[in-house]
Structure 1
């Protein structure tokens, strides 16, 4: 590791020791941050995997019900039913701070009585139970899908921050701190050498006197 290009003076030695102390504290704080980010990231990944399984299971049931309903109903009725949504959803996206990482926090709300299948705009004559189940599954899975999107985006942002923090930790650990330590050692050796030379000269002058 190449030492820094500085003058070997006591003032420079003091400055370098202060920089080393600051770099060491910064390294510890960043390492602690990296460890905590990793802990939370692993927890979120587990939640993401569990929730994804639940969402995929509900969507699979919804698609199975829809396939059955579609096989028993006229195609024109299905197209007309799907053309205009009967319910509206309000979505608000806020932000929260996790270890200096700003991640999304999503809130959504159906309009009133959206959970009631009676409000769906189709009659019983042209529908069947499978179609009712399809909409029920889709209504139930919506909150989980939104939560899954929030968790996946949070994981992505945290992974980016973990990588940035890792690079900064490595830069301090393997470059900045070793350079400072080597330069401090070099200056200390130079100062000690100059001090020994000065003492030797003083002893020679004393002997000559």
Structure 2
């Protein structure tokens, strides 16, 4: 397992312990955020799928009604009727923050009037097509808001997952391995220092020979007779 290249000192040990604690706290926060994002994304994605299916159904009905109007009126008259619609729809997009994710709130203003064209040379099928397209326009802003929310939540979940994995599988193991290395090196130095001090104390406590005592052919004092004699040990 990889470890950081730092000197095995007590100051680095304290620094690595602080970094490990911070990494563990960050992991817990990001892991909770990941769980919340996952739950919220699943809920919004399900809602978006239903809304998308609903809008696509409305759009299919609208195009079907438009095709019926083309068959009854003819292409040229239908195009002239479409040109009479000169109003636009204004869209107001305001950002909101959900768990640090900026999502849009879409509001549409200025829907087309119910009958922007004259009654002459038009049919009931055209009225039906116009009504169905107005309904589609009322649903599209909600769909766009929901789909954008899903997309941004998915991106945030992906980023959060990468950060969680980096902390769990890279940073935290590196800090733990580095701390273990520093602790082992410090303990080894302390054992060596204790052994060295023990040897110094042992040498200091060894007895030393008294004055006048000589060995291996040197004179020594015979305490009993008070005479200096010479002896060879061997």
Q: TM-score range by the shorter chain?
A: over 0.9
What 5-or-longer segments of structure 2 have no aligned partner? 205-234
Partner of 2:186: 191
Alpha carbon RMSD of aligned pairs, Å? 1.4
Task: Provide the rounded CA distance (Å) in 1 between the counterparts of 2:76 and 2:138.
Answer: 30
| Equivalent pairs, count | 204
Question: Does structure 2 conserve the Cα–Cα contact (< 8 Å) formed by 1:13 and 1:184?
Answer: yes
**1:33: how far off?**
1.1
Task: Provide the rounded CA distance (Å) in 2 between the counterparts of 1:84 and 1:161.
Answer: 45
Task: Provide the rounded CA distance (Å) in 1 between the counterparts of 2:18 and 2:80.
Answer: 74
**Within 5 Å, which residues of 2 pair with 1:83-102?**
83-102=83-102
Partner of 2:220: none
Q: SS of 1:43's equivalent?
A: helix
**Within 5 Å, which residues of 2 pair with 1:91-130?**
91-110=91-110, 114=112, 117=114, 119-123=115-119, 125-130=120-125
Q: Which has the larger displacement, 86-95 or 48-57?
A: 86-95
Give a deviation string over 1:178-202, Cα, whole Å, max 9, x none. Answer: 0000000000011111111111111
**1:84: how far off?**
4.0
Name segments (4+ residues, structure 1) moved above 4 Å.
Answer: none
Matched, 1:8 2:47: no
Task: Provide the rounded CA distance (Å) in 2 between the counterparts of 1:7 and 1:15.
Answer: 12
**1:86: how far off?**
4.0
**1:162: how far off?**
1.3
**Within 5 Å, which residues of 2 pair with 1:1-209?**
1-110=1-110, 114=112, 117=114, 119-123=115-119, 125-209=120-204
Partner of 2:215: none
Normalising by the residue count of structure 2, what TM-score does the alignment of the two structures yield? 0.83
Normalising by the residue count of structure 1, what TM-score does the alignment of the two structures yield? 0.92
Q: Which has the larger displacement, 50-59 or 78-87?
A: 78-87
Task: Provide the rounded CA distance (Å) in 1 between the counterparts of 2:184 and 2:79.
Answer: 85
Q: Which has the larger displacement, 5-14 or 136-145?
A: 136-145
Task: Provide the rounded CA distance (Å) in 2 between the counterparts of 1:158 and 1:84.
Answer: 41
What 5-or-longer segments of structure 1 have no aligned partner? none
Q: Which has the higher contact order (CA 8 A, sep 6+)?
A: 1
Query: Which is greater in Rg?
Result: 2
Q: Which has the larger displacement, 7-16 or 100-109?
A: 100-109
Task: Provide the rounded CA distance (Å) in 2 between the counterparts of 1:207 and 1:143.
Answer: 95
| Higher share in helix | 1
